[in-house]
């Protein structure tokens, strides 16, 4: 990623706010680029949240757009935050560029809603389960790379116990098939299932199960996805709710209103199909007993 360093969400907020200010001032992108002596490409990167800004550039743009002193200070603060590298950058090439973007957004979210039809979510995986899953993928024979990915996945989980800022709400709906799709070590799988019940006792984590008896549903063809909701930063508007959907070669980040509404509707349908928390815990407990006998 060429300029994709630092904290993702503040950078995206700067870009979005700068675009709003420019449009409110009635200035075209090319006119702004010419006045600032920026290339058209750089303007697109700034407004797309792909490029960090220096304080001097923020001040120049705010002057041109006739921004208030208050919003100028907010933008300067956000631009400063956008240059701070997150802990995940230490993992270098082990983390794909498209996933670095997600981890930055995950760290900034106030609420995460994840649907997991086939694999237990990374934020809730035990070490043994994570290692088994990651050994099935790319570079499976490279023990060093696998171990680094496992370590990073476990480090991501500290998000759920974070105190400052407050840990996000994490609501998970998992398909029964993901719970019955075992890994090579039966005891390790039992520990993974027990971990799901344990984490559900947290006030910020919920794990509910869509049982086989629910039959086909609206999300059956959707695959796994995560809905991320964000808090406001100061007086700045929040990052828009974003849908994250991963595939074999990259990921989709969807934030258009209709896209978000569609996934919200699917999530609501999943909520109707899923067992409540107590019944989900009971089902997980029953699966553990079945695998024990």
Q: Looking at the predicted structure, is the pLDDT value of residue 148 above 80?
A: yes
Whether 95 and 40 map to the same domain: the answer is no
Whether 255 and 285 map to the same domain: the answer is yes
Q: Looking at the predicted structure, is the pLDDT value of residue 3 above 50?
A: no
The whole-angstrom separation of Cα 78 and Cα 80 is: 5
Instruction: Mark which of 81, 96, 122 sits at the end of a domain.
Output: 81
Whether 126 and 176 map to the same domain: the answer is yes
pLDDT for 89: 63
Of 293 and 214, the one with more pLDDT: 214
Residue 155 located in a structural domain: yes
pLDDT for 4: 41
- Residue ranges of alpha helices (H) inside 125-256 are 127-134, 143-156, 176-180, 186-199
Residue 2 located in a structural domain: no
Q: Looking at the predicted structure, is the pLDDT value of residue 237 above 70?
A: no
The whole-angstrom separation of Cα 58 and Cα 55 is: 5
Residues 29-40: tens digit of each pLDDT: 999 999 999 999
Q: Looking at the predicted structure, is the pLDDT value of residue 233 above 70?
A: no
pTM above 0.95, yes or no: no
pLDDT for 230: 87
Residue 3 located in a structural domain: no
**206 DSSP 8-state letter:** E
Whether 57 and 151 map to the same domain: the answer is no
Residues 39-97: tens digit of each pLDDT: 999 999 999 888 888 899 999 999 999 988 888 887 887 787 777 666 666 666 666 76
Q: State the chain's mean pLDDT as an integer.
A: 87
Which H, E and C letters describe 4-54, residue by residue?
Answer: CCCCHHHHHHHHHHHHHHHHHCCCCHHHHHHHHCCCHHHHHHHHCCCCCCC
The whole-angstrom separation of Cα 291 and Cα 284 is: 11
**205 DSSP 8-state letter:** E
Angle at 183 between CA 150 and CA 136, to 5 degrees: 55
Task: With beta carbons less than 8 A apart as the criterion, state whether 69 and 77 touch.
Answer: no
Burial grade of 221 (CB within 10 A; 0-12, 13-18, 19 or more) = exposed
Whether 211 and 258 map to the same domain: the answer is yes
Domain with residue 58: its CATH number is 1.10.260.40
Domain with residue 122: its CATH number is 3.30.870
**Number of folded domains in the chain?**
2
Domain span holding position 60: 8-81
């Amino acid at each position: 990623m060429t300029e994709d360093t630092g904290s993702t969400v503040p950078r995206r907020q700067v870009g979005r706010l700068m675009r709003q200010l420019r449009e409110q001032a009635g200035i075209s992108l090319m006119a702004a680029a010419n006045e600032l002596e920026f290339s058209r490409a750089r303007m697109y990167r700034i407004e797309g949240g792909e490029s960090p800004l220096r304080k001097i550039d923020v001040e120049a743009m705010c002057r041109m757009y006739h921004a208030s002193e208050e919003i100028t200070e907010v933008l300067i603060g956000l631009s400063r935050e956008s240059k701070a590298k997150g802990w995940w950058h230490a993992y270098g090439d082990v983390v794909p560029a498209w996933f670095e973007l997600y981890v930055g957004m995950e760290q900034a979210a106030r609420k995460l809603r994840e649907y997991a039809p086939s694999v237990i979510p990374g934020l809730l995986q035990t070490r043994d389960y994570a290692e088994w899953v990651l050994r099935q993928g790319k570079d499976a024979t490279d023990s060093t790379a696998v171990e680094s990915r496992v370590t990073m996945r476990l480090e991501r989980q500290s998000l759920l116990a974070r105190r400052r800022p407050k840990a996000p709400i994490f609501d998970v709906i998992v398909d029964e098939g993901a719970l019955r799709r075992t890994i090579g070590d039966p005891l390790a799988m039992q520990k993974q299932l027990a971990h799901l019940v344990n984490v559900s006792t947290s006030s910020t984590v919920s794990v509910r199960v869509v049982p086989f008896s629910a039959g086909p549903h609206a999300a059956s063809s959707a695959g796994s996805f995560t809905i991320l909701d964000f808090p406001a930063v100061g007086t700045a508007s929040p990052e828009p709710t974003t849908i994250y959907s991963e595939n074999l070669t990259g990921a989709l980040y969807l934030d258009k209103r209709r896209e978000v509404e569609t996934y919200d509707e699917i999530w609501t349908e999943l909520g109707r199909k899923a067992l409540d928390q107590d019944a989900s815990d009971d089902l997980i407990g029953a699966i553990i007993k079945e695998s024990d006998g």
